[in-house]
Structure 1
Amino acid sequence: MKKSLLLALVAMITFSTFANGQKEDGKIVIGANIYSFADNFMNGVIKPELETYAPSKGVEIQIVDSEGQQAKLNDQVDVFITKGVDVLAINLVDPAAAQAIINKARAAKIPLILFNKEATEPGVMDSYDKVWYVGTDSAEAGIIQGQMMVKDWKANPSWDKNGDGVVQYVLLKGEPGHPDAEARTVESVKAFRDAGIEVEQLALEADPNWSTVHGNDKMAAWLTSSFGSDIELVIANNDGMAFGAITAQKAAGVRLPIYGVDALAQALTHIADGEMDGTVLNDGVNQARATVDLAINAAMGKNVTEGTNWKVQTNGTKAVRVPYVAVTKDNYMDFK
């Protein structure tokens, strides 16, 4: 018993010393994660913006890679809490696991900003008064992507290769169950139906990593399949998979209309080179900045939008929504 008490006392002293050491300069410390550094968008846009924007606001940010494992993220949150960070900025691996993270933050009395992956469990955001979400309207990207495709389809009758008036398409889907992947998949195709244009899905494949390799492998397989010559349109839930599909098309010597989401720099280059028809700006820069701004205010006990231009929705979601923007051959230079 005495040994247990001694160990507990040592742990308390160690924690106190470490936590105070983290804040000797008075800086707010944000404990943050990226669900997977393998994700083109998260690692290529949001992570570097977090790393540069937070210091510019006079705060420290510690970012870890959850490697696509919710259990690993749970442990990382425990470590952040033990370190005594002032606020958590968490990119969920599994949107259905938000309650576990919220419970940890609430028990430690640490404010929590969830970003980019929204909780899917009903009511979880109401279980803690110091949790907010920063992200997008999941359906909006699919709607905008669909509207671009409908406009271009109508302007290019030659895309209807067999002249049947039906869009024969293949779709590269992101992570199954991810709100963005599910909404983009539904809304992009729904736009054609809403415009009175019939569609036929030739193939759909999902990838939890949203990867370029997946896009390349699936596109290559589809082009050599029994329906390969029937494909008239390629829809990708993100730019990363679209890049792979473009590589596969080049290897096969074909050029099919293709659309992505994210407006990564490489996508703008593909549009400029005539290898990609459109993408949708997923504004990772402003998602990162809003996450940091809200985190700082939350850590200081202020209204989370104080001194910012961000607005928290009043419909009960406790969310800041960053809008999507269509990017085409007509305006891609604006996003360079």
Structure 2
Amino acid sequence: MTLTRRTFLGAAAAASCAAALPAIAAKPLTIGFSQVGAESEWRTANTASIKDATRRAGINLKFADAQQQQQNQVKAIRSFIAQRVDIIAFSPVVETGWETVLREAKNAKIPVILTDRAVKVSDPSLYVSFIGSDFVEEGRRAGKWLLDYAKKNGDKPLNIVELQGTTGAAPANDRKKGFAEAIASNPKLKIIRSQTGDFTRAKGKEVMEAFLKSEGKHINVLYAHNDDMAIGAIQAIEEAGLKPGKDIVIVSIDGVRGAFEAMKAGKLNVTIECNPLLGPILVQTAQEVAAGKPVSKRITVNEGVFPAEVAAKELPNRRY
């Protein structure tokens, strides 16, 4: 009996036929996700959260690792479009250069959700929502902690070296901006060198070695845009015969387990949390978008500030 013929049956007969037919299972949601890469402890936790949350929700996840290359992400997004996924989500390597491929997704009527990092586009309708942190505020929190530290320690001049994240990436741009805004109120706090460490431990160590060679004992503070670069820098500081956390105060961002271990060992002074566990929020947002429900354009996660004094107590509670 065809569906067309059923529409002409009486209500009782139709109900009887419907009861006899097997239930048709709803098609599982398919999400295409392009990840930046695996450059840090934070990113590993972020990927695990997304994979775990989609698996638990019964979502079909198509995952692509961009290995920190924008062209790889563009290629992955176009592949997702060709495969007609229900939702595209990605954490962009850099902020700019997305207009064309996002317009292709929009023309294909595939909603796009940004996670962790934002993009700069002329048309905000090219994506439906951004899920992540307020990177400017993270930079401000790092700067405010250093202002308080300076005040408690005699308000002496402090020379700062800065390990920036990937050039052009939203967290690198915003964490630099927020930190600079915060320390501007104290002219005794001065950034004397600033260079990208690409958010990696190896590059953080390499750049810190260069800072130490050029600036030596003039360095009082290291501000790292993420914990992995800070941990790499700690190795360089120790190899130079200095004590990290004492000879050079270290302020970093992310709040990963390795940072808490470094703080417990007295080698790092404070970490500003950037929560990587975005999987459950992504799943909920994707389900709402697929159901045609309105979602917030920007969804910000809750985060804290963790100085070394609380590291031992907090370490057992860290999930990443």
Q: After TM superposition, is the score higher than 0.5?
A: yes
2:224 to 195, 213, 236: 236
Report the alpha carbon displacement of residue 271 of structure 1 after superposing the two structures with TM: 0.7
Cα RMSD of the aligned pairs, angstroms, is: 2.1
**Amino acid of the structure 2 residue aligned with 1:222:** F
Matches within 5 A, 1:16-55: 26-42=27-43, 44-55=44-55
Mapped partners of 1:222, 1:301: distance in 2 = 52
Mapped partners of 1:100, 1:138: distance in 2 = 26
Mapped partners of 1:197, 1:151: distance in 2 = 14
Report the alpha carbon displacement of residue 323 of structure 1 after superposing the two structures with TM: 3.5
**Amino acid of the structure 1 residue aligned with 2:305:** A
1:223 to 212, 223, 232: 212
Report the alpha carbon displacement of residue 24 of structure 1 after superposing the two structures with TM: 8.1
Mapped partners of 2:262, 2:270: distance in 1 = 9
Q: Could you tell me which residue of structure 2 aligns to residue 5 of structure 1? A: none
2:267 equivalent to 1:275: yes
Report the alpha carbon displacement of residue 25 of structure 1 after superposing the two structures with TM: 7.3
Q: Could you tell me which residue of structure 2 aligns to residue 153 of structure 1? A: 150
Mapped partners of 1:202, 1:74: distance in 2 = 36
Contact kept, 8 Å, 2:163 with 2:224, in 1: the verdict is yes
Matches within 5 A, 1:122-201: 123-126=122-125, 128=126, 131-157=128-154, 165-194=156-185, 196-201=186-191
Contact kept, 8 Å, 2:54 with 2:279, in 1: the verdict is no
Structure 2's unaligned 5+ residue stretches are: 1-23
Structure 1 224/74 Cα, relative in aligned 2: closer, same or farther at 3 Å?
closer
Contact kept, 8 Å, 2:143 with 2:178, in 1: the verdict is yes
Mapped partners of 1:180, 1:173: distance in 2 = 9
Report the alpha carbon displacement of residue 153 of structure 1 after superposing the two structures with TM: 2.3
Mapped partners of 2:263, 2:290: distance in 1 = 42
Mapped partners of 2:137, 2:109: distance in 1 = 34
Tell me the matched-pair count.
288
Q: Could you tell me which residue of structure 2 aligns to residue 202 of structure 1? A: 192
Percent identical across equivalent pairs?
23
Which of these two proteins has the greater Rg computed from alpha carbons? 2
Q: Could you tell me which residue of structure 1 aligns to residue 293 of structure 2? A: 302
Contact kept, 8 Å, 2:160 with 2:222, in 1: the verdict is yes
Mapped partners of 1:167, 1:202: distance in 2 = 10
Matches within 5 A, 1:84-95: 84-95=84-95
Q: Could you tell me which residue of structure 1 aligns to residue 254 of structure 2? A: 262
TM-score by length of 1: 0.80
Moved more, 44-53 or 145-154: 145-154
TM-score by length of 2: 0.83
**Residues 65-102 of structure 1: per-residue CA shift (max 9 Å, x gap):** 11222222122112212222211111122321232232
Moved segments of 4+, more than 4 Å: none
